[in-house]
């Protein structure tokens, strides 16, 4: 089972959350299903995703996610694909 842990550095949590929620269908169409979202601070959020299609998810993160990032005020991201041990 592959999952992805994502960290988002953001300008404003409310703006990020609105864009994050609006992007759910696009993420889902690209192999990512949200399992949990955590708010670390107004400038930091973490998410855990189930990965149904790793190739589609990676392509999304390298391309279309840029639109989400600009709409959500994301200044930096880190993505880690992990498997259950």
pLDDT tens, 27-37?
999 999 999 99
Q: Please write the tens of the pLDDT for every residue from 16-72.
A: 999 999 999 999 999 999 999 999 999 999 999 999 999 999 999 999 888 888 999
C-alpha span between 28 and 40 (Å, rounded)? 24
- CB-based contacts of 56, cutoff 8 Å, min separation 6: 30, 31
Contact status, residue 79 vs residue 6, Cβ threshold 8 Å: yes
3-state secondary structure of 21: helix
CATH number of the structural domain spanning residue 45: 3.30.70.260
Range of the domain at 19: 2-83
- CB-based contacts of 13, cutoff 8 Å, min separation 6: 39, 41, 42, 43, 45
- Number of domains observed in the structure of the chain: 1
């Amino acid at each position: 089972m592959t999952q992805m842990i994502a960290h988002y550095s953001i300008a404003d949590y409310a703006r990020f959350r609105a864009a994050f929620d609006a992007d759910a269908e696009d993420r889902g169409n690209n192999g990512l299903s949200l399992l949990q979202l955590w708010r670390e601070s107004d400038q930091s959020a973490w998410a855990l995703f189930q990965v149904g299609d790793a190739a589609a998810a990676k392509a999304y993160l390298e391309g279309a996610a840029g639109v989400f990032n600009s709409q959500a005020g994301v200044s930096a991201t880190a993505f880690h694909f992990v498997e259950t041990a």
